[in-house]
Amino acid sequence: MSYLDSEFYQPLFEAIATDDREQIQAAAATFNAADLADFVEEHPDNEEGVRLLRALTTEQSAKVFGYIGPSTQTLIAELLPTQDLAELVTAMPSDERADFFNLLNENRQHTLFQSLASKEREDLRRLASFEEGTAGALMSSEYAVISSGMSASAAINLLRNTAPDKETIYQAYVIDNQHKLVGAVSLRNLITAMPGTPVDNLIATGLVTASTDTPQEEVARLISRYDLLALPILDQDERLVGIVTYDDAMDVAEEEATEDIHKGATVGKLETGLRDATPFSLYRSRVQWLVILVFANIFTGAGIAYFEDIISEHIALLFFMPLLVASAGNAGAQSATLMVRGMATGDVTVADWGKLLGKETLVASALGVTMAVAVMVVGFMRAGPDIAFVVAVTMIAVVMVGSLIGMLLPFLLDKLKFDPATASTPLITTIADVSGVLIYFSVATALLSLS
């Protein structure tokens, strides 16, 4: 029995069955907006989800709609009458409104656009014009603003009147007569100040800001680094045009982390969530790298074939090959993961590669020696001292090589303007497999020919 079929939603099912708006609203009032969105996600096409949204107040529907996934939003847009959809979109926060508008097909966009009031149309046209993935596309135009020269009491009265239309009022932005950002003042400072105190005496200057074309991942990093509730966004003329709030930054961080995890497993970008993805989109996101890595692994087979003579003379070498190759891949994957994450968080930059190379060489040597001691015991018991020595030397070499490849590859990809997250576990493992086989049998050939 799934979560949505459990008793959790039973009051909602019963209320919707009555088709009584007041009963539906009363039942919905006992649920969080995110939980109601989950209900709609599971029941968009049989109209139960639409009936729920239409029974709620416009403000409640807009809040629930913001938690619904893109694919379900577009489906609901086709089921709702245009006027109902226009009222819902009007009540949505400006940033969510723009995101939703961009999901619609051209005909639906045109119909909806004509049904909106001029204020919403102008705001939507402006926000929807920014390139996807930038601060402009992410920002909200519903921010609290105060004019320079106001008194604290006048500012509080202004916020009191405009608060219902703003995304946040914990911090208000002070602008001059050209709408340029002067500073910011917290609601706490306004409330605790004497009524006649000029706002200019309360503002904090030197604010962290971003421009409309700043990448969204950089916006999320700034909000996280400076613990901001919101980040002011400026246009080319340094005028305040919007803000990005911390909750939107969290969504971006989650999206970026998901994308990096997918890249780390050589999975392409999915336009929807996994649950809504079609079999073809899943196939397309995975097949390219798998085919490339298949042909890359041919070099492993070629390496084995090249050393057929030494293998035939010492068949026990094959017993240790998977162990050594896997160790190289595992060490490389660990190193690459640390580097990619460090670069993503800003903890590591390309300029640090020299310092990290020395550190990684030391760590990889210690790891290799430790693993060599462990495997040498197995080698001695399984195949005697000669093979054990070959395996131990190889273990040190492959762990060092794998670790250094894993550390350097993200830097190389970044230098070549590729995403370092492409230095994925499968890619590192494939490179380590080839190098591990070549190192192993080269060491075996060199050492065993001396015995």
**Domain end residue (candidates: 66, 98, 129):** 129
Spatial distance between the Cα atoms of 167 and 322, rounded to a whole number of angstroms: 57
Q: Is residue 309 part of a domain?
A: yes
Beta-carbon neighbour count of residue 4 at 10 Å? Answer: 14
**Domain end residue (candidates: 229, 252, 275):** 252
Question: Do 167 and 120 share a structural domain?
Answer: no
pLDDT in tens, the chain (451 residues): 344 556 788 888 888 888 888 898 898 888 999 889 888 887 655 577 888 888 888 888 988 998 888 888 888 888 888 888 888 888 888 888 888 888 888 888 888 888 888 888 888 888 878 888 898 888 888 888 999 889 999 999 988 888 777 777 788 899 998 889 999 998 899 999 999 999 989 988 888 999 999 998 889 889 988 888 889 999 988 899 999 988 888 888 777 777 766 666 666 666 666 666 677 776 777 777 777 777 777 777 777 788 888 878 888 888 888 888 888 888 988 888 888 888 877 788 888 888 888 889 999 999 999 999 988 888 888 778 888 898 899 999 999 999 998 888 888 888 887 777 766 677 788 888 888 889 988 988 888 876 5
Per-position DSSP letters for 328-376, written without gaps between them: HHHHHHHHHHHHHHHHHHTS--GGGHHHHHHHHHHHHHHHHHHHHHHHH
Q: Is residue 362 part of a domain?
A: yes
Q: Are 56 and 25 in contact (CB under 8 A)?
A: yes
Reading the block at residue 375, the tokens are 């495997």
Please name the residues in contact with 169: beta carbons below 8 A apart, sequence gap of 6 or more: 144, 159, 163, 187
CB under 8 Å, gap of 24 or more: what pairs does 158-163 form?
Answer: 159/187, 159/190
Amino acid at 312: S
Question: Do 443 and 316 share a structural domain?
Answer: yes
The whole domain housing 365 covers 297-448
Report the pLDDT value the prediction gives residue 271, as an integer from 0 to 100: 63
Q: Is residue 325 part of a domain?
A: yes
Q: What is the pTM of this model?
A: 0.64
Q: Is residue 270 part of a domain?
A: no
Question: Do 142 and 116 share a structural domain?
Answer: no
Question: Do 16 and 109 share a structural domain?
Answer: yes
Report the pLDDT value the prediction gives residue 434, as an integer from 0 to 100: 86
Q: Is residue 283 part of a domain?
A: no
Report the pLDDT value the prediction gives residue 365, as an integer from 0 to 100: 92
Q: Are 49 and 41 in contact (CB under 8 A)?
A: yes
Per-position DSSP letters for 268-313, written without gaps between them: PPPSS-TTT--HHHHHHHHHHHHHHHHHHTHHHHHHHHHTHHHHHH
Q: Is residue 371 part of a domain?
A: yes
CATH number, domain with residue 156: 3.10.580.10
Question: Do 388 and 305 share a structural domain?
Answer: yes
Question: Do 304 and 232 share a structural domain?
Answer: no
Q: Is residue 285 part of a domain?
A: no
Report the pLDDT value the prediction gives residue 3, as an integer from 0 to 100: 46
Report the pLDDT value the prediction gives residue 6, as an integer from 0 to 100: 60
Q: Is residue 257 part of a domain?
A: no
Give, as one character, the DSSP assignment of residue 73: H
Reading the block at residue 366, the tokens are 């210690």
Number of domains observed in the structure of the chain = 3
CATH number, domain with residue 11: 1.25.60.10
Report the pLDDT value the prediction gives residue 398, as an integer from 0 to 100: 92
